[in-house]
Amino acid sequence: MCGLVGETGSGEQPGVHAALRALAHRGPDDEGCWFDPAGAVTLGVRRLITTDPGKAANQPLISRDGRFVLAFNGYIAGHRRLISGLRDHGQQVESDSDAALFLAVLGNALRVGGDPANALCGFSGQYAFALWDRDTCRLWLGRDPVGIKPLYFSEYGSGNVAFASEIAALRCIVPSAPDRDVSPHYLAHLFVPAPETGFADIRQLRPGELMCWQGGSLESRMIRVAPCHRSVGDNTIAELRQAIRQSVADAMDADREVGTLLSGGVDSGAIAAMASDVARERGQKPPPGFVMQFGNAERDETPRARLLAKHLGMELHIVAAPDRPEEILAHLNDGLRGFGAPFGNPSVVLMQALGAAVSRHVPICLAGDGGDELFGGYPRYRAAAMLRYWHHVPDVIRSLIAGRIADVLPRGMARFVRGGQGRSADAFDHWNDRCALVELGARLSVPADLPGDLCDRMMAFDRRVTLPGNQLAMSDRCGMAYGLEYRVPLLGHEVMAIAKSVSPRVHLRGGGKSLLRAAIAPMMPDGYLSAAKIGFNPPVAEWLVKIGRLLWGSDGRVIAELFGDLPLTVAQRHLYWHRAVRGREPDEALSLWALLVWRVWQMHQLFQEQTPDRDAVINHRKASSVCGTSSRSGVGTAPAA
């Protein structure tokens, strides 16, 4: 993985170098910068070495004929097989890195006038890139179709464009004012959905977006995932098991040590079991596992993680969840620096602490991201499937239950009856909007072309909007903050194709994830898959009190600062605060946490600092770098590929 930065102006090279310093945490192993002789473009890369540690793989890469210059962040599944196939057909691929493969395939397509989106649709994995075509003076910017790797851009000056892997780095080139108009979307999603970012002049590429800049104009198209699943029989379970195993094997194909998260859940358990099996087949010991431990036994999945680790013969590292107010706030601030934008999922604090701990052992870690969205793991999917039956109940009875009676129902049931009052569109909004306070004016950003019935639309919404904007973004920022690359095998194209070929109602049988559970059941210890899901959720109500008082002192001051000029009476403010911190209203607690993060973001140093100091973040990585950092600048000094 890497950090990318670049621009098309002729006078912004100091800004590019400042941006590279701001991205040092993403690439502690090498730095490269290439300047176009005509002054048309500058490309910079900070590299985390995961494949091919040789100097020939350092970036930016230049094609053998000198036409193309590539800055690449990511990995391509099965890259060694694909490189071997190209070489067998007489094509040149000058190194064994993912980037060299990417340059060869994309360059070949552009040389013959092909559509680069079609050339890239067959790549499974995760990536963002910038490619400069010196013959046509075109700059191509792209992001993988799932949205695993980020890329931000800004148009500035007289038709120029700048880009970077993170907002803080991009602001070294293009200062931009905060865009407070994003608050309705932020409060509804707990993040700012693409293409917005929280800054007026900065945008993020949408998942799968491919942009072309030429002569001051930008054009956009989409990279679609190529159809790849061809059923060979009626045993979908066996096909899924094999697809996951192959995706895990591809993710483990690296020239550095690999670990795996082991939360105690189904998704991470599936990855850990497959990784252990692959390692043994290769004559290696299973990769180390990592789990976060909570002091509250009701939140702690360490016992289940220990059970699975023992079953798999895996070494398990236990990471203590942050608990002191000072460390919670420190991790929150670090997370906001990585995002550059408001990010209201409180799990970012846990992921920051986890990333710091995991990176001390391995530079690559497998994770189970995407399992809930692909295989029907969220309760709201089951609610969507049940809605049509609920609508057979007379309106007057549904209204009665959704009123006073809902106040004494369990949280999930109360959300169901309140959201299921009207049309399916109303249920969609109610069950997906994360803001429980109507006075905050939260508003979802929903694509207009979501397919199918309510359950289909909700799963598609999560795959297209929530997964890339929330979990995948969190894994990227919280891992790369410490030079740690998370890889997500469940989002391999073949795995996704099989999951999508099965109807949601099949996935939802038996409480959800029926297909995934069946695929991994032979590899799990007895009773592991039947245990109730705990989830990776911090004690938000407790954290509200701890961070609020740390920032502002007394509860009265906390309430005043938190609600600010919102249209709420004093009585309403106190009511919401006390309901949230008692721990009985988790939805309201989450809404107030998002509001607290918004206030912290408004105060944050990112509003004033153009080049945040990240030296303290990456010091622990320098000693274990594969090679020392070197700086390459000047025309044509990057290696050929």
CA dihedral sign, ordered 380, 382, 384, 390: negative
DSSP assigned state of 508: T
CA dihedral sign, ordered 476, 211, 152, 165: positive
Nearest to 306 by CA among 321, 294, 318: 318
Q: Is 96 annotated as belonging to a binding site?
A: yes
Round to whole Å and give the CA distance between 349 and 538: 9
Q: Which residues pair with 132 in a beta bridge?
A: 69, 139
- The residue whose two tokens read 């969190």 is 474
Nearest to 208 by CA among 224, 219, 226: 224
280: tokens are: 């043994």
CA dihedral sign, ordered 227, 229, 232, 233: negative
Question: Residue 67 in contact with residue 381, Cβ under 8 Å?
Answer: no
> How long a stretch of residues is the chain?
641
Q: What is the CB-side half-sphere exposure of residue 56 using CA atoms within 13 A?
A: 13
Helix (H, G, I), strand (E, B) or coil at 350: helix
CB burial of residue 133 (10 Å; 0-12, 13-18, 19+): buried
Round to whole Å and give the CA distance between 434 and 39: 47
Nearest to 440 by CA among 585, 574, 563, 601: 563
CB burial of residue 283 (10 Å; 0-12, 13-18, 19+): exposed
Task: Report H helices in 123-265.
Answer: 167-170, 183-189, 236-251
Round to whole Å and give the CA distance between 422 and 270: 38
Query: Rg of the Cα trace of the chain?
Result: 24
Round to whole Å and give the CA distance between 27 and 17: 14
H-helix or E-strand spanning residue 214 = strand 209-214
Strands (E), 336-468: 364-366
Question: Residue 206 in contact with residue 194, Cβ under 8 Å?
Answer: yes
Round to whole Å and give the CA distance between 512 and 519: 13
Strands (E), 223-358: 258-261, 289-293, 316-320
CB within 8 A of 273, min separation 6: which ones? 308, 312, 520, 523, 524
**How remote is the C-alpha of 101 from its chain's centroid?**
24
- The residue whose two tokens read 């700059």 is 139
Q: What is the DSSP string of 72-129?
A: EEEEETTHHHHHHHHHHTT----SSSHHHHHHHHHHHHHHTT--HHHHHTT--EEEEE
Name the catalytic one among 2, 121, 212, 478: 2
Query: One-letter amino acid identity for 374?
Result: L
CB burial of residue 480 (10 Å; 0-12, 13-18, 19+): buried
Question: Residue 515 in contact with residue 499, Cβ under 8 Å?
Answer: yes
Active site (annotated) includes residue 627: no
Question: Residue 490 in contact with residue 513, Cβ under 8 Å?
Answer: no
Residue numbers in the known binding site for ATP are 261
Residue numbers in the known binding site for L-glutamine are 96
Catalytic positions, written as ranges = 2
Residue numbers in the known binding site are 96, 261
